[in-house]
Amino acid sequence: MSLKKKRWIRIGLGLLAILLIIDVVASFYFYNLAIARNKKDFLQDNSDLEVSAEALDEMLQGDWRDWVRDQDFENWEMTSYDGLQLQGYYLKAEEETTKTVIFAHGYLGRATDMGMFGQYYYEELGYNMFTADLRGHGDSDGDYIGFGWHDRLDYLDWINKVIEEQGEDTEIVLHGVSMGAAAVLMASGEDLPDNVKAIVADSPYTSVYDMFNYQMGRMFHLPAFPMLPSTSVVTKIKAGYSLQEASALEQVKKSETPILYIHGNGDTFVPTQMSKELYENTKSEADMITFDHAGHGEAFVTHKERYIDKLTSFLDKYIQ
């Protein structure tokens, strides 16, 4: 082999090593940016998360916040399958009922955020209400965000705890928003108790990989390869799951529980197409409604009457 050829091989190997180092560094950066439990400054001033003035006012200053503060929630604590201490909050209905809604909040949220929906279930539908801080959020343990995947197993345990509290005849609805919607959809593919009668998924994503792929292109103008596969490896090492396996889409293909999909047509943070793909691949009975000009997770505020009409008609079909 000539000296010139050997030189080019060394240069090529050197460049490959540099690219590999850059990829590894970038993978740890993206893990810390999106998955590690820390302050997420990158979401500030994100135009995809801008909501209407009406929705912002309701989310930040709505009467439901006072309602949540006035309720006497029972604090529930649970040790997860992997040893985390998780916090949940249970509110018994004013009149005895077998109906209970279990809520799952969104990315960087906390249990009380779901009070906006909980007030309606509690006051108008007469449900018991349970809501939890997902792992890595609120007062629950966890140094990483599960994006619904490990949370699906936590919710199996919370469901069983609700059944223990309410009795074997309890009827349960799972209602999640955004990451919480993905969490309850991921749970739908597990062996759920027959007590779980219906699932409501508001603004879900198909998989964590799909979601990151979309956001890397939209927010950072970067291709998925090679950083996203390597970030998935880092996530597997540090958090115990890969971005590919954390798939709501694969889980709903196994679901036996009726699912209502809800999405805003103006959602640019999680594309509406993701709900459509989930709906089209759901094994169980399913329904879907979209709302024009509604952004991410805001349809309950901006189209409340139509949202409630669809929600209650869906629940009436499956809850006695």
Report the number of secondary-structure helices (H) and strands (E) in the chain. Answer: 12, 8
Single out the residue of 174, 318, 192 nearest to residue 251, CA to CA.
192
Give the separation between CA 119 and CA 90, rounded to whole angstroms. Answer: 13
Query: Does residue 64 form part of some domain?
Result: yes
* pLDDT 10s digits, 225-250: 888 999 999 999 999 999 999 999 99
CATH code at 54? Answer: 3.40.50.1820
* pLDDT 10s digits, 103-140: 999 999 999 999 999 999 999 999 999 999 999 999 99
Return the exposure string of 125-163: e unless at least 16 CB atoms fall within 10 Å of the residue's CB, then b: bebbbbbbbbbbbbebbbebbbbbbbbbbbbbbbbebbb
Q: Decide: 262 and 200 in contact? Cβ < 8 Å.
A: yes
Query: Does residue 69 form part of some domain?
Result: yes
With 70 as the cut, is the pLDDT of residue 21 above it? no
Query: Does residue 63 form part of some domain?
Result: yes
Calculate the CA 254 to chain-centre distance.
18
Question: What mean pLDDT, rounded, does the chain reach?
Answer: 91
Compute the Cα dihedral for 195, 98, 132, 272 and give only its sign.
positive
Query: Does residue 170 form part of some domain?
Result: yes
Compute the Cα dihedral for 60, 66, 67, 72 and give only its sign.
positive
Q: What percent of the chain has pLDDT over 70?
A: 87
For residues 285 and 28, which has the higher predicted lDDT (pLDDT)? 285
Q: What is the pLDDT of residue 183?
A: 98
Query: Does residue 30 form part of some domain?
Result: no
Query: Does residue 273 form part of some domain?
Result: yes
With 70 as the cut, is the pLDDT of residue 4 above it? no
Query: Does residue 109 form part of some domain?
Result: yes
Least confident of 50-54, 224-228, 316-320: 50-54
Q: Which domain holds residue 172?
A: 35-207+246-318
Residue 171 carries which side chain, given as an amino acid letter? E
Q: Total structural domains in the chain? A: 1
Query: Does residue 228 form part of some domain?
Result: no
Least confident of 26-30, 174-178, 259-263, 301-305: 26-30
Q: What is the pLDDT of residue 52?
A: 59
Other C-beta atoms within 10 Å of 54: how many?
A: 12
